[in-house]
Amino acid sequence: MTVQEVKNFRVDFENAVTELQKKYGVNISTGAIRYSDSELRFKVTARKGKVAPKLTKEAFQVGDTVKINHKSAIGKQFRVEKIMTKNIRVTEINLPKGRIGGQVRVSPSLLEKL
């Protein structure tokens, strides 16, 4: 398989699982695709919850309040600090008094606007 075939496969696969997401109320995401001349392999994860649209970096502006759609960031809010070439740098907000929030670089597809 070629790189372009793998990219096309990912797009087609994500389009194909849209109905499953709606039917079962889950978000289905794919991991990194490993491939050779004759096969490709990847991890598929389905998480319960509303189907969140995949956003690109153009959908965000510095200062936006967002949340990260990941199990390690449940209940946390972040502010967009910088929009870089591929990722977005965010800083945690609403911390308890005396705590310092760290900055995190995250893919725009994991962010949700609040």
Query: What tens-digit pLDDT sequence spans the chain (114 residues)?
Result: 899 999 999 889 988 998 898 899 888 888 889 999 999 999 998 888 777 677 888 889 999 999 988 888 888 899 999 999 999 999 988 877 777 777 889 989 889 888
* pTM as predicted: 0.62
Contact between 52 and 41 under an 8 Å Cβ cutoff? The reply is no
Fold for domain 57-113? SH3 type barrels. (2.30.30)
Contact between 6 and 33 (Cβ < 8 Å): yes
Map out the domains of the chain as residue ranges: 3-48, 57-113
Lookup: tokens for 22:
């709606």
Sole residue written with tokens 């760290």: 102
Q: For 21-109, where are the E strands, in sequence order?
A: 26-30, 34-35, 40-41, 44-48, 65-68, 77-83, 88-93, 103-106
